[in-house]
Structure 1
Amino acid sequence: MSETIDVADLTPAQARDELARLALLLQEANRAYHADDAPVMSDADFDALKRRNGEIEARFPDLIRPDSASAQVGAAPSDGFAKVTHAVRMLSLGNAFDSADVREFDSSIRKYLGLAEDAPLAYTAEPKIDGLSLSLRYEDGRLVQAATRGDGTTGENVTANARTVADIPQQIAGAPDVMEVRGEVYMSHADFASLNVRQAEVGGKTFANPRNAAAGSLRQLDASITRARPLRFFAYAWGAVSEPLAETQTAAIERLAALGFATNPLTRRCNSADELLAQYRHIEAQRATLGYDIDGVVYKVDDLDYQRRLGFRSTTPRWAIAHKFPAELAWTQLEAIDIQVGRTGALSPVARLAPVTVGGVVVSNATLHNEDYIAGRDSSGAPIREGRDIRVGDRVQVYRAGDVIPKIADVDLSARPAGAVPFDFPTHCPVCGSEAIREEGDSVRRCTGGMICAAQVVEKMKHFVSRAAFDIEGLGAKQVEQFHADGWISEPADIFTLQARFGDGMQQLKNREGWGEKSATNLFAAIEERRRIPLDRFLFALGIRHLGEVAGKTLARHFQNWETLRDTVDRAGGEPAAEAADGKARKAAMEESPAWSELVSVDGIGDALVQALVAAMRQPAERDVIDRLVAQLEIEEVAAPAGEGSPVAGKTVVFTGTLEKMTRAEAKARAEALGAKVSGSVSKKTDIVVAGPGAGSKAKKAAELGIETLDEDGWLTLIGQA
């Protein structure tokens, strides 16, 4: 298949073939790069293929392959190396791309820790080295193991190779008995140029860039090859340690330097977001003269106790973020604006562009976010781009910023055609003609057609059978489209009644091109196998707005079974008569219900998701669809959180009043980690009430019901954190 076919023009069959082709190309490139030390394509070409793979997957999520490059964190461990399981996972970092992202990072840290905006809070800022992550394990001061990041959990044992790197000490004095030092292996610009000269002189292959050279050199099966390569190492973090290195990030880095490790001299302690941004500009200004590659600046909370309290998300720490340098920019012409309708009914504007190369890949489409963005304003009505709107025919600036979807950054008014007119965003769905409304506080306009909108029905069904949802073998996006077009399925429950409605074997299916007795039988067997489904996958499969995989797991762990969650959501919706009230009054009434409080008290579940859940369960058509589906399934209960040895395992805890030694979010997260269920209201089922200063009606009700009530110190003593 020609790579020039625009992703927006691919059919599902073409997309499947293209993803298979890309998987093979990327696998071959990875093998040549990591195992053979002989890249078969440039870094830019590799990135372009990977981006194209991601763009296709974004459009056809049900076609994502198990061997896709996008499914990997880091690089899979090579079979040529022994495997190492990291004692402490080596995670990636979240990204910031502008000053607003950095200020939001600072604000979110303060909010989580319960710190005022003017309270002291220090960070470190250090260059983000563009190299290969490495973890060094020392025992009794001796280097015993070196491992690559791999997939974050399991890496490759490259100990022999690491011993050849001059910056990596073999013996250290004064270190903890066990210490894992983490950092980045890299190659300087001068050493990289010299290496390529030597390679050319002996007829060897030259490298595309210093990062490729460093990564390929470290992951050689023959350590003598690595020894001949001029590799360097910067230490900037640690994994498992038998005793703390220090009380702050700054002091810990200073101690690593004292132990003999090279640390980056541009690392600075900063006392505010403004100082972080100033250091970012300082580092960026020196980028071209540093002598090695960096692609951003990493910010970390300095206080290690704060780092511990902030903890981790599923793949990134809360206490650190990478502020990336600006992506490459390009100017081109906006030829058209198309409106796409997603599975949630969102009307998404897409820019059709005269093809232009940005960051090594040809771009012909870009997102325009929403109608406000096109009009030159943000969701609050404030101007963006100094109020310049975007019109068909404009000369626009395209940029890529760490993701696979290009965006329109700016417009050149001096090049605007005389006949260009403001874009008229549709108020009706372009697919079904239903009214498209924009709710208060929402930046997106959505189709109200629901199940009568072909775009939503088909997309929701594709989501339903996707890999992270029901994952029915033999029933992918192509089959969903075919079966829907033939009138065989119009909602998820129809999948599980196919065989009953059409009879054993389903003659119509067997007679279709590409189907036969065996494939039809296999499909029915796969459908039957999925009648039993874990609660979290079932919730994700419903395609409810804001209800992703993580939220599905969170709700499943908290409520444990579908019936309990369903009944809680029903109670949170209030009485049916409340439907007659206006939206604000109805929402206010719902937020006063104990069920609503219980839902939003679950760590990670907010108002937006609860509103979406309630809306889905109270809308008759959608509720009927869910109920008909549930009737066909056996939804597996989720075991209660592990709480072996915990004094609060299985107990229901309510926090009320002001907590002085931790924030409410920390308290809830800790209680749930110990196996407790945290509720927002006091009832006969409540076991413990933790009451801080200012506790009111909840503490009073606890006393009336004879429920054990503790102050914050008593609670910390109970859970062993006094």
Structure 2
Amino acid sequence: MSSTQAKQRIEELSAELKQHNYNYYVLAMPTISDFDFDKKLRELADLEKQYPEYLSADSPTQRVGGEITKEFQTVRHRWPMLSLGNTYNEQELVDFDNRIRKALGDNFEYVCELKFDGLSMSLSYKGGQLLRAVTRGDGVQGDDVTANVRTIHNVPKKLKTGDYPDEFEIRGEVFMHLKAFERLNNERVEAGEVPYANPRNFASGTIKLQDSTEVAKRPLDTYLYFLYTEKQQFKTHWESLQAVKGWGFHVNEHNRLCKDIRDVLAFIAEWGERRHELSYDIDGIVIKVNSYAQQQELGFTAKSPRWAISYKYAAERVETELQSVSYQVGRTGAVTPVANLKPVLLAGTTVKRATLHNANEMARLDLHEGDSVYVEKGGEIIPKIISVNTDKRKAGAEPIHYVTHCPVCDTLLERKEGEAAWYCPNDEGCQPQIVGKMQHFIGRKAMNIDGLGDETIETLYQKGFACHISDLYELKQHEEELKKMERFGEKSITNMLDGIERSKQMPFEKVLFGLGIRYVGETVARKLATYFKNIDNLMAASVEELTAAEEIGERIAQSITEYFSGAEHRAQIEKLRGQGLQLVAEEKTVELASDKLAGKTFIISGTFAVSRDELTRIIEQNGGKILSSISAKLNYLVAGDNMGPSKLEKATKLNIPIISDTELMAML
């Protein structure tokens, strides 16, 4: 490779790796495996070593990774949060051990720890009280996410009595258990939202939420594994782990003290087999020199400690035959391709199907009939096809293209600009959408109708008794016909009809969530109900008026206006109104703290240190009123970070005073 070619390749790799870092740390949506990332990083490091004149200070090899989000306060780490060197093979571990042995002699031990696939976190304590929680960020500074971390049940807010120093930091990993991930991801799919690829991304996305009350609803967990103090209190890392466990911190029970590299390799082999027994994901093992004095002697490179390394398990991968591609239609109309495979054993389970995600992924793979494919189940819960073994492709094999029409109702599929998924727009005539919407409506988080289940809904649809959610409230008229049906006993019919009748008392926010509007999940429905008060205000709201409500972005707003623009949807609302469902939010009595804002009107826009709900409560408790849109009637626009430019422009044109949340509090 010439010097010019090396320079070009270094620039290409640097740009690509920076983008992958951004996708991983900021967006929590990686588009490359850890193995492939590390491979590219190593190639870059080798080139920079060979051509040092092209080594840049901001090269990915010189950075820990990640960027700072704008939503949280940036905090500088007292001790930098360095990353660890990675290896995927045992020989490099033996080489690491030889370097340690050369520097220290033979008298040292290792501590082996499971490497959790989560989000690195640093917790600061003072006087036994949790002072601050900060993400890794770029290793030098990170995001202050204290309010969110306080919601994690096993993070001590106040330590019990112990011999801990007055000030210290403890670091660890925030993660999500696999069962919780599956449940919450299913709820995202139900709400028409894009599911997270794996628990690590879900945990990261959760920690970055602005509303800590929403974080509290998602079961995050932590394991803590390293103590930092000004004056070293313990002689070894193993001793400190036992101590912090006694102080009340959650320390993993599978850590092991190892005498030598043979013990380390045995530990790695053991958990290579047993990792699927765990309720959470690990992607490797971390190996640390035990003695703190020896750690200091070994020191650090610019990016990582010389006394620690991580061994990463390669994602498990098998080769099998692609037998066919089928398509699933969800209740929101999203059409998802699924690969049907010749059954193969992978990560302890027999795999028969693998997700193909969307049309873009199918195009990337360039699938042909009968292809031999590589299937992986690494950080992903659902197996996925990584690539095709083209050497085994049969001569004359036909390429497989994503369908152009709905596989159920044959309607031409649509795709919105900027989205990967294709949708069937025939929501009133496509069976899986109709049945799925009714199943969603009766669900526990929506109308919670006792006596009705998914199978019953399927049967009622097949027999022609229910094609819309409003039809459920007319089943009483068909009671005698229902009794003649197989598996419909008199008691079960009575329970079902009683459950349907009771559901009429469910609050407006539950009805709104139950409608199944794309992107309107449980939280969004509650915020819309609180803000717009009734269904008529909501149906009449423009995109601009909708985005004035907290956490309602343009994508959600457009989905809502699109839904209510359909005559058939409005007809359903009128039927539900006539059947006695609650389409008006319960008015909550506001106890006034003062009348200092009486007669004043406000709109809150952007993000703040406190939630917009809290600012709304403060305004209303002091006599102020929240409007839904900017007009000449508005007295103040309370502006936070990331406020929409259209609101700012309109308020400026109308000469409406624009104030901060600090100025709002000063008015009180």
What TM-score do you get using the length of structure 2 for normalisation? 0.55
Distance 1:649 1:601 in 2: 21
Query: In the alignment, what sits opposite 1:543?
Result: 516
Distance 1:170 1:517 in 2: 64
Pair 507,173 (structure 1): closer, same or farther in 2 beyond 3 Å:
same
Q: Deviations over 1:622-679 (max 9, x none)?
A: 33223322332123515569897597799753468xxxxxxx3227834644525776
1:443 aligns with 2:420: yes
Query: In the alignment, what sits opposite 1:615?
Result: 562
Query: In the alignment, what sits opposite 1:566?
Result: 539
Distance 1:422 1:121 in 2: 56
Distance 1:234 1:560 in 2: 45
Pair 125,343 (structure 1): closer, same or farther in 2 beyond 3 Å:
farther
Assess if the C-alpha contact under 8 Å between 1:327 and 1:401 holds in 2: yes
Q: Deviations over 1:682-704 (max 9, x none)?
A: 3355342347999655145245x
Pair 616,718 (structure 1): closer, same or farther in 2 beyond 3 Å:
closer
1:124 aligns with 2:72: no
After TM superposition, give the deviation of residue 430 of structure 1 in Å.
2.0
Pair 623,124 (structure 1): closer, same or farther in 2 beyond 3 Å:
farther
Pair 514,156 (structure 1): closer, same or farther in 2 beyond 3 Å:
farther
Distance 1:418 1:449 in 2: 39
Pair 100,328 (structure 1): closer, same or farther in 2 beyond 3 Å:
closer
Assess if the C-alpha contact under 8 Å between 1:234 and 1:264 holds in 2: no
Query: In the alignment, what sits opposite 1:526?
Result: 499
Distance 1:667 1:100 in 2: 35
Distance 1:426 1:333 in 2: 21
1:174 aligned to which of 153, 156, 166? 166
Q: Which amino acid aligns with 1:629?
A: L
- Is the partner of 2:550 in helix, strand or coil? coil
Query: In the alignment, what sits opposite 1:254?
Result: 228
1:400 aligns with 2:377: yes
Q: Which amino acid aligns with 1:485?
A: Q
Query: In the alignment, what sits opposite 1:22?
Result: none
Query: In the alignment, what sits opposite 1:27?
Result: none
Query: In the alignment, what sits opposite 1:653?
Result: 602
Query: In the alignment, what sits opposite 2:87?
Result: none
Assess if the C-alpha contact under 8 Å between 1:126 and 1:297 holds in 2: no
1:718 aligns with 2:667: no
2:71 aligned to which of 88, 104, 112? 112
Pair 665,521 (structure 1): closer, same or farther in 2 beyond 3 Å:
same
Q: Deviations over 1:389-415 (max 9, x none)?
A: 122211112122445322111111111
1:666 aligned to which of 592, 608, 611? 608
- Is the partner of 1:665 in helix, strand or coil? coil
Distance 1:650 1:641 in 2: 18
5 Å matches for 1:569-718? 572=542, 596-632=543-579, 633-635=581-583, 637-638=585-586, 645=593, 652-654=601-603, 664-666=606-608, 669-670=611-612, 672-675=614-617, 676=619, 681-683=629-631, 685-690=633-638, 697-702=650-655, 709=657, 711-712=659-660, 715-718=661-664
Assess if the C-alpha contact under 8 Å between 2:320 and 2:375 holds in 1: yes
Distance 1:174 1:121 in 2: 15
After TM superposition, give the deviation of residue 263 of structure 1 in Å.
6.8
1:492 aligns with 2:469: yes
Pair 634,327 (structure 1): closer, same or farther in 2 beyond 3 Å:
same
Pair 630,680 (structure 1): closer, same or farther in 2 beyond 3 Å:
closer
Distance 2:284 2:598 in 1: 42
Distance 2:78 2:559 in 1: 36
- Percent sequence identity over aligned pairs: 30
Assess if the C-alpha contact under 8 Å between 2:651 and 2:658 holds in 1: no
After TM superposition, give the deviation of residue 95 of structure 1 in Å.
6.3
1:514 aligns with 2:483: no
Q: Which amino acid aligns with 1:442?
A: E
Moved more, 344-353 or 646-655: 646-655
Q: Deviations over 1:590-622 (max 9, x none)?
A: xxxxxx223123332222211111111112223
Q: Which amino acid aligns with 1:417?
A: K
- Is the partner of 1:112 in helix, strand or coil? coil
1:465 aligns with 2:465: no
1:374 aligns with 2:362: yes
Distance 1:721 1:261 in 2: 55
Distance 2:556 2:652 in 1: 28
Query: In the alignment, what sits opposite 2:342?
Result: 354
Pair 719,670 (structure 1): closer, same or farther in 2 beyond 3 Å:
farther
Assess if the C-alpha contact under 8 Å between 2:124 and 2:167 holds in 1: no
After TM superposition, give the deviation of residue 444 of structure 1 in Å.
2.0
Assess if the C-alpha contact under 8 Å between 2:517 and 2:560 holds in 1: yes
After TM superposition, give the deviation of residue 498 of structure 1 in Å.
1.2
Assess if the C-alpha contact under 8 Å between 1:395 and 1:415 holds in 2: yes
Distance 1:700 1:263 in 2: 62
Distance 1:98 1:449 in 2: 32
Distance 2:514 2:651 in 1: 37
After TM superposition, give the deviation of residue 426 of structure 1 in Å.
2.2
Q: Which amino acid aligns with 2:497?
A: F
Distance 2:653 2:266 in 1: 64
After TM superposition, give the deviation of residue 512 of structure 1 in Å.
2.8
Assess if the C-alpha contact under 8 Å between 2:173 and 2:224 holds in 1: yes
Q: Which amino acid aligns with 2:410?
A: G
Unaligned runs of 5+ in 1: 1-92, 143-150, 164-168, 186-232, 237-252, 266-286, 299-323, 377-387, 573-595, 657-663, 704-708
5 Å matches for 1:68-147? 109-112=68-71, 124=81, 129=114
Assess if the C-alpha contact under 8 Å between 2:548 and 2:603 holds in 1: no
1:295 aligns with 2:282: yes
Aligned residue pairs, count: 444
Distance 2:163 2:627 in 1: 52
- Is the partner of 1:124 in helix, strand or coil? coil
Q: Which amino acid aligns with 1:254?
A: Y
- Is the partner of 1:366 in helix, strand or coil? strand
After TM superposition, give the deviation of residue 254 of structure 1 in Å.
2.8
Unaligned runs of 5+ in 2: 1-25, 38-59, 85-112, 130-149, 175-222, 240-262, 272-280, 286-311, 620-624
Distance 1:461 1:358 in 2: 36
1:330 aligned to which of 318, 327, 335? 318
Distance 1:326 1:556 in 2: 47
What TM-score do you get using the length of structure 1 for normalisation? 0.52
5 Å matches for 1:1-40? none
Q: Which amino acid aligns with 1:600?
A: T
Distance 1:339 1:428 in 2: 11
1:452 aligns with 2:409: no
Q: Which amino acid aligns with 1:359?
A: A
Pair 173,548 (structure 1): closer, same or farther in 2 beyond 3 Å:
closer
Q: Which amino acid aligns with 2:564?
A: M
Q: Which amino acid aligns with 1:665?
A: T
After TM superposition, give the deviation of residue 549 of structure 1 in Å.
1.9
After TM superposition, give the deviation of residue 363 of structure 1 in Å.
0.8
Distance 1:431 1:489 in 2: 19
- Is the partner of 1:450 in helix, strand or coil? coil
Q: Which amino acid aligns with 1:439?
A: K
After TM superposition, give the deviation of residue 529 of structure 1 in Å.
0.4
Query: In the alignment, what sits opposite 1:53?
Result: none
